[in-house]
Amino acid sequence: DDENDMDSDTVCADEDTCPSDALNDIDGDGICEQNDSCPFDSENDVDGDGLCNSATCVDEDPAACSVFVTTNSDCRAANACSVCGCACFSQCNDRCPLDRMNDVDSDNVCADADSCPFDADNDSDGDQLCADVDSCPYDNLNDVDSDAVCASSDSCPFDDSNDADGDNMCSDVDPCPVDPSNDADSDSLCAEVDSCELDSYNDQDSDLICGDVDSCAEDASNDFDNDLLCSDVDSCPFDVDNDVDTDGLCGNIDDCKMDAENDADGDDLCADRDPCPHDPANDFDGDGICGDVDSCPTDIENDADSDDICSVDDPCANVHSDHHDADSDQICQDVDTCPNDSGNDHDSDSICGDVDSCRFDALNDADSDSVCGNLDVCPFDSLNDIDADTLCGDVDSCPLDSSNDADGDNLCVDQDPCPLDKENDADSDSICGNTDSCPYDSENDVDFDMLCADVDSCPLNAGNDADSDNLCSDQCLFDADADSICDDLDSCALDANNDWDSDLICGDMDSCPFDNENDVDADSVCADVAASALSCGFDMSALNILSSDMFVDTDGDSCQDAVILSDAQKENVLTSVVADFGFSASNAGAALSESPEFSDDNTLVFSVLSSLPEDTVAAIIEAIIGVGSEFIQVEPQRRARLLAAGEERVLFVTVNLDGLLSKLRSDADFDGVDNDVDSCPFDPENDADGDSLCKMSFCFDDLFVLNPQCTDFRSGGRLDGQCVESGVCTTCACSCNAECAGVIGGGSDICPYEAANDADSDLLCASDDPCPFDATNDADSDDLCGETVACVETDEAVTSFGSCSDYSEGSRYFGFCSIDGICDICPCSCASECGSEVDTCPSDPENDVDADQLCADMDSCPYDPENDVDSDNVCSSGDSCPDDPENDLDGDGICGASDSCPFDAFNDADGDHVCADVDSCPLSATGDRDQDGLCDNIDSCPLDADNDADADEMCGDEDPCPQDSSNACNDANNGVVVDGDGLIIDDEMLVIIIGIVCGVIILALIIVAVVVILNKRKVARAKQVSETYMRSPRSFRPSEDNDLRSNSSSAVQSSPNHSDFSPNSKLSTADRAESVVSTEGYVAEKTKKHKTKPTSSKSRKTRRAKRDSKSTGSRATEAGESGSWSPDPNSLSEIDWEKSLNKFFQKHNKAKVAMVPKMSKIYNSKRERLYAKLYKAYKAAPNGATPS
């Protein structure tokens, strides 16, 4: 190396790959520094923007390079990027190495990563178009309305006309885009199609005058009778005096216009001409007094004797006295035996009635009880049947005994010690025979074997010689007390009751064997509970229970008959009942609506909510709380309204807790069968319907027992089946009945007289169930029951002719159900005959009215038997084209199947057998013969593709010179002109022709001028007539905005020649004149119809006065319509609004009462307007309202 490591990189040139590069190609691009444009960029400015993407830097002369840092000089201009790499790094290094333009949009995203390299906002509107190619860079819909204004600047971005009507509402939300008032009259018609822009009813009375300018907007005849009242408020629209006699008949139909009673006496003379308007005979007796006010119309002297009887009727014509027959008995006073008694001593006791104390009793109160005999139920009994046995005392064997010696012992009750016992306590045990369990046994079955001594073989041995050895007491070798317990095992060998009262003293030694306190009051009388209990019909097993203080005797017969609970027991009862309602699934038909409480010591009351009959609710409550229905009373709450069947109402429930005593009786249900042998111990009818379920009407659970409570022992309860084991058979008599008493089948019979027991489970027994086999009870109310469960009936014989099946359809006795009276017994077999056929469509009241075998609740088209046969989702009942799925798509009134052109509303209008949807020229039968793109019907030259190219009004197919507008193709050789017909014309002939043509033109101009002058005169005349008529208040005045518009349907229909006179009219002057003349005739005709009387000075004044009055009324009306009323009619509900109108017309115009419902609806939103009309017509408004 002759230069000895010139680059000072400690590598000699012979080994140095870059001998002049101290960094030895630091970027590894194979180019040494002196030749490397970007010594620190291995890709050497890959994007060619003159900026390197250096990974590192070196300042060859740091001191010199520092100037670029301190002065911020332009490195690139000084070419210092390579020698001052670090100082110029920020200026020279390429921050976008793959972006030649280096983030030209200055969004800090290089082009290689920039979705929009020329859009600094990078598609700010998110429409996938960058701003450099986006016509609306801030409008993601890009001027969706195509009005050349982007949404960001567009006042109406969805309206290409940008609020054409200037109402500050763009067309996309403007209900009337070209109507600035937006349907001012709110009739759903915009101004451009509204015949009456300011009249929401659009000329309601069809008199061609819009309501806003119509003096009588609801009166087509516009006050026909000229009484300033329109017919809609005019009680007599054809009577100017409006029933002047107020008889309810308008003058135009009133035969007596000035007579409110319309010839009341029917003598064909109206009151204004009738001398006696209420006397058809017109003063028959000629006394100058009309018959209707003449006291004696046929007596000219008018009762000369002043006895108020006219001479023709006076029975005492010769007695001139004011009192000739004072008692009015038709017997003159001078011959009347009792002149002041019209009955003339009716009872013939020689005492005239006016002084007789008993005018109709000849004996004059024989029994002196101050009741006359004719009114006295017992005229000879002063006590008047005091014992109320319908036998008076004078004939009553026992006047103080209403039963009249009921036991027939010849002793009346006031003297009889046993009034119902003929033998008067035969056994002298102080118990009368009618209540004595053993009437001939003074000890009343002392051995308690249920056999009285007079019939008991062993009256002192309950076993009654059990071993049949004819010895009453020898069951054991030694059983001294015959209690069936041998002496060696008997704690009380000489006491058959074995210390019954549990006082640890055997009965043979006990002074009071049935009194555990042993005559506590020391009165030498034991409290013999057992004898008393048995005589009262209680079971021996219940004697200990009866000794409780809870049971008391309220009537003094020594028998407990009532229950008194402690406060704690009452609380337990309330808790138990609430818990029972929560536990039982049976309460679905009777939900507790008011918590239970005690009305007294033994009466529980509460309320339930139910839709079922009271008897059914009682049975449900029986099952819920364990109390027999015999002790439950259910009744509707007082003053409850009568409800429809199935509607819930509140029922008041009373439970008599005295029923607790029933289960302690030996015969709880009083059916004469002791409980221990009674198949239904609480059912007095012992399963009347034979369904193996007993009524529980006399059972009673101890409701005051908790933890466990009786509910726990019921079927499904936590202690189900443990009644006997737990010893609660008596305590929980209802809940444990099936287990303890062996009831047939067990359970309570909710329908005791129905073997099927509410077959449909709707909680209604058959007697109350309108549909016994339909749980929904005719859900669709079509008087046909459904069948949610199979019909059930007995298979036993129901008549002497056979069973139910013998009466079914097809059987030998079909048709005899009603005759044999078995409709209710055999509901299945007799269904069709007895009118109880099953509802095949239980949820369809019309029962498949379209007969398509689909009930309405399952039928997509319940009134269409084919069920939308064209599958257009429109049923035939509402389908205009039931066989056309597109429903007359072209709207020509012809359905697809019958439409020759189903997509052409005009059905081949040009008759070329090509329908418009495929016909290029639908209105031209010949099409476009010259193929110039214009159909023949609109082509001025249908056979000339150039369409008169020379514009000489001659089509090319007829033009001899189609390119020469003068059609004077020059003949250079002959100097002649050829006309349009090909004729050769010389110069002289041409001059003559031109002269003739000019003359004709001048003559035509003169004719046109004359016609114009004449038409102008006609127009002026028509205008004068029209203005004159329009000044009339009752004239026909077409609205300038509506009726004169050429597209107004009402104007066209009313006046066929009525045309638009606006500057934009396309009518010629002559046509306009003709139209005006036609309108003039129409106006004159209308004027003629309203002209009924000759015009005179007086009539003109009258009309002027009426007009002024009407104007004043109109102003008052306008004030009422625009102002307020007191009271405000808008404060009334719709019902009160209609009532107020009805009341108003009842008073002012009964003929309009029938119109009140319609009137109230029409004016419901315009109440002030109607008030104003009524106030104008009647000088009054509903509710006495006045305009403020």
182 Cβ contact list (under 8 Å, min separation 6): 167, 169, 174, 175, 176, 190
Closest CA to 636 of 605, 613, 603: 613
Share of the chain above pLDDT 90, in %: 5
Question: How long is the chain?
Answer: 1188
* DSSP classification of residue 748: B
- Beta-bridged to residue 538, according to DSSP, are 665
What's the pLDDT tens digit per position in 769-780? 778 888 788 888
Which of 225-239, 372-386, 674-688 is predicted least confidently?
674-688
Average pLDDT value over all residues in the chain: 78
What's the pLDDT tens digit per position in 865-897? 888 888 888 898 788 898 888 888 888 889 887
Please determine, for residue 418, whether its predicted confidence score (pLDDT) is greater than 90. Answer: yes
CA distance 874 to 872: 5
C-beta separation of 534 from 664 below 8 A: no
In this prediction, residue 378 has a pLDDT band, given cuts at 50, 70 and 90, of: very high
- What is the reported pLDDT for 358? 92
Which of 374-378, 846-850, 1137-1141 is predicted least confidently?
846-850
- What is the reported pLDDT for 821? 87
- What is the reported pLDDT for 92? 86
Q: Where are the beta strands (DSSP E) in 773-889?
A: 797-799, 802-803
- What is the reported pLDDT for 379? 92
CA distance 506 to 492: 6
Q: How far is CA 404 from the centre of its chain?
A: 66
Q: Which whole number is the average pLDDT over 64-85? A: 84
Rounded to whole angstroms, the maximal C-alpha distance in the chain is 195
Which of 300-314, 499-513, 946-960 is predicted least confidently?
300-314
Q: Which whole number is the average pLDDT over 98-111? A: 87
Q: Which whole number is the average pLDDT over 813-819? A: 86
CB-based contacts of 1105-1108 (< 8 A; 24+ apart in sequence) = 1106/226, 1106/228, 1107/1033
**Residue 172 is which amino acid?**
D
* DSSP classification of residue 263: S
How far, in Å, are 356, 380, 787, 875, 876 from residue 846 at the CA level? 77, 73, 17, 17, 18
Coil, strand or helix: which one is 1143? helix
CA distance 588 to 611: 11
Please determine, for residue 974, whether its predicted confidence score (pLDDT) is greater than 50. Answer: no
Please determine, for residue 256, whether its predicted confidence score (pLDDT) is greater than 90. Answer: yes
Q: Where are the beta strands (DSSP E) in 890-1024?
A: 977-978, 984-985
Please determine, for residue 71, whether its predicted confidence score (pLDDT) is greater than 70. Answer: yes
The total of other beta-carbon atoms located within 10 Å of residue 1's CB is 12
- What is the reported pLDDT for 964? 82
CA distance 670 to 695: 13
The total of other beta-carbon atoms located within 10 Å of residue 723's CB is 24
User: What's phi and psi for 741, nearest 5 deg?
Assistant: -100, -5
Please determine, for residue 729, whether its predicted confidence score (pLDDT) is greater than 90. Answer: no
- What is the reported pLDDT for 36? 84
Q: Parallel, antiparallel, or unpaired for β 797-799 and 632-636?
A: unpaired
> In which residue are the tokens 């064209």 written?
870
C-beta separation of 655 from 631 below 8 A: yes
Q: Which whole number is the average pLDDT over 153-174? A: 87
What's the pLDDT tens digit per position in 928-957? 898 888 888 888 898 988 888 888 888 888
C-beta separation of 252 from 243 below 8 A: no
What's the pLDDT tens digit per position in 109-146? 998 898 899 888 888 888 889 988 888 998 888 888 88
C-beta separation of 396 from 383 below 8 A: no
Q: Which whole number is the average pLDDT over 469-497? A: 70
CA angle, corner 1040, sides to 1036 and 1046, nearest 5? 100
CA distance 190 to 1102: 42
C-beta separation of 514 from 500 below 8 A: yes
Closest CA to 204 of 184, 222, 229, 182: 222
Cα separation of the two ends of the chain? 124
What's the pLDDT tens digit per position in 529-587? 556 666 677 765 555 565 566 777 778 777 777 888 888 888 888 888 888 887 554 45
- What is the reported pLDDT for 1163? 79
* Tokens (6 digits) for 740: 């303890």
Please determine, for residue 1073, whether its predicted confidence score (pLDDT) is greater than 80. Answer: no
* Tokens (6 digits) for 415: 């003297």
- What is the reported pLDDT for 539? 67
476 Cβ contact list (under 8 Å, min separation 6): 484, 485, 486, 487
* DSSP classification of residue 1000: H
C-beta separation of 1186 from 1126 below 8 A: yes
In this prediction, residue 1089 has a pLDDT band, given cuts at 50, 70 and 90, of: very low
The continuous run of DSSP H or E covering 652 comes out as strand 649-656
* Tokens (6 digits) for 821: 């009276």
User: Radius of gyration of the chain from Cα atoms?
Assistant: 60
- What is the reported pLDDT for 303? 78
* Tokens (6 digits) for 672: 């004469």
CA distance 9 to 33: 13
Closest CA to 666 of 658, 677, 657: 677
CA angle, corner 435, sides to 433 and 439, nearest 5? 35
205 Cβ contact list (under 8 Å, min separation 6): 214, 216, 217, 218, 219, 220
Please determine, for residue 55, whether its predicted confidence score (pLDDT) is greater than 90. Answer: no
1125 Cβ contact list (under 8 Å, min separation 6): 1168, 1171, 1181, 1185, 1186, 1187, 1188
Closest CA to 634 of 648, 646, 616: 616
In this prediction, residue 314 has a pLDDT band, given cuts at 50, 70 and 90, of: confident
> How many separate helices (H) and strands (E) can be counted in the chain?
16, 12
Encode 339-364 in three state secondary structure. CCCCCCCCCCCCCCCCCCCCCCCCCC
153 Cβ contact list (under 8 Å, min separation 6): none
Higher per-residue pLDDT: 415 or 1081: 415
C-beta separation of 605 from 574 below 8 A: no
* DSSP classification of residue 557: S
CA distance 636 to 179: 65
Phi-psi bin for 582: left (phi > 0), alpha (psi -120 to 50), beta?
alpha
CA distance 602 to 617: 21
Share of the chain above pLDDT 70, in %: 82
What's the pLDDT tens digit per position in 346-360? 888 899 988 988 988
